[in-house]
């Protein structure tokens, strides 16, 4: 029971997370100021069915515990960043988010025949991890331009220990170029280091923590600015990790980690 992924691209508008307040777009992005937006994918019948199945699998079969609620915008684009523990991560995170998350996923997972049709339906973006995948970057920016929430694991690969891996700067560059907010999350649990199939068919206990928007400098895309923004994103996830670790320690006998 649940207790309560070097880009250069045109700019797109940023929508406020809750109510209103339209943020002004730069004059140089006239074409991006009124992008053609698709109907909300969350309203499609097939997506609603898949979300219901996801809730049953991730929150009932697996025990997914939310330590702090998700803060994604109800409307408009955004980027969700999270550490990467296993191939099960997108399933667990999506189960507690009303918005459909468009995940950037390693191409080898995307091409699994039994799951390919589902990934395509969910608008998953395959990423070739063998080099600089500009096609994936363009697809991600198009998704943001259409008002989607983009899900990225900035470590670029699955963690092999309990410690966070260095974050890549691509997320910061996308966020600055697209002008969209970035929200952190931290995931931990018994799914760590399991393959996708092992993680799916073995019952797991996972904990999820979400944080507020990460405030970053959007004045430039220099190496220094991108690195500083990436460090801020890393710290936002690390702060959630520290809180999660303390909470886990407190539930063990004598508070031992």
Please report whether residue 4 resides in a domain.
Answer: no
Question: CA 83 to CA 251: how far, in whole Å?
Answer: 22
Q: How do residues 45-99 score in pLDDT, each as one tens digit?
A: 999 999 999 999 998 899 999 999 999 999 999 999 999 999 899 999 999 999 9
Residue 131's pLDDT band (cuts 50, 70, 90): low
H-type helices in 95-133, by residue range?
Answer: 107-110, 113-121
Please report whether residue 34 resides in a domain.
Answer: no
Please report whether residue 189 resides in a domain.
Answer: yes
pTM: 0.81
Say how many Å lie between the first and final Cα of the chain, rounded.
24
Please report whether residue 33 resides in a domain.
Answer: no
Containing structural domain, residue 61: 41-255
Please report whether residue 177 resides in a domain.
Answer: yes
- Tell me the C-alpha to C-alpha distance, in Å, between residue 256 and each of 21, 89, 205, 226, 252: 47, 26, 18, 38, 6
Please report whether residue 16 resides in a domain.
Answer: no
As beta bridge partners, residue 61 has none
Please report whether residue 3 resides in a domain.
Answer: no
Please report whether residue 14 resides in a domain.
Answer: no
Phi, psi of 142 (to 5 degrees): -65, -40
How many structural domains compose the chain?
1
Question: CA 105 to CA 66: how far, in whole Å?
Answer: 23
For position 122, which CATH number holds?
3.40.1130
At residue 8, does pLDDT exceed 70?
no
Mean pLDDT, range 5-16, rounded to an integer: 39
């Amino acid at each position: 029971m649940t207790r309560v992924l070097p880009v250069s691209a045109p700019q797109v508008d940023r929508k406020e997370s809750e109510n209103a307040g339209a943020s002004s777009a730069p004059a140089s992005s006239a074409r991006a100021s009124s992008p053609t937006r698709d109907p909300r994918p969350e309203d499609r019948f097939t997506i609603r069915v898949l979300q219901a199945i996801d809730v049953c699998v991730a929150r009932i079969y697996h025990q997914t515990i939310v330590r702090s609620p998700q803060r994604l915008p109800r409307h408009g684009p955004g980027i969700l960043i999270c550490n990467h523990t296993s191939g099960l991560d997108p399933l667990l995170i999506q189960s507690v988010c009303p918005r459909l998350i468009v995940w950037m996923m390693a191409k080898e997972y995307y091409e699994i025949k039994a799951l390919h049709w589902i990934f395509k339906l969910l608008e998953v973006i395959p990423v070739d991890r063998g080099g600089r995948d500009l096609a994936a970057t363009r697809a991600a920016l198009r998704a943001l331009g259409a008002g989607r929430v983009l899900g990225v694991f900035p470590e670029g690969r699955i963690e092999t220990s309990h410690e966070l891996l260095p974050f890549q700067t691509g997320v910061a560059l996308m966020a600055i170029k697209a002008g969209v907010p970035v929200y952190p999350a931290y995931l931990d649990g018994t799914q760590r280091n399991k393959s996708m199939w092992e993680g799916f068919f073995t019952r797991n206990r996972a904990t999820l923590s979400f944080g507020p928007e990460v405030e970053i400098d959007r004045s430039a895309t220099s190496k220094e600015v991108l690195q500083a923004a990436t460090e801020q994103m890393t710290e936002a996830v690390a702060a959630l990790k520290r809180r999660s670790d303390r909470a886990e320690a407190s539930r063990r006998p004598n508070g031992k980690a």
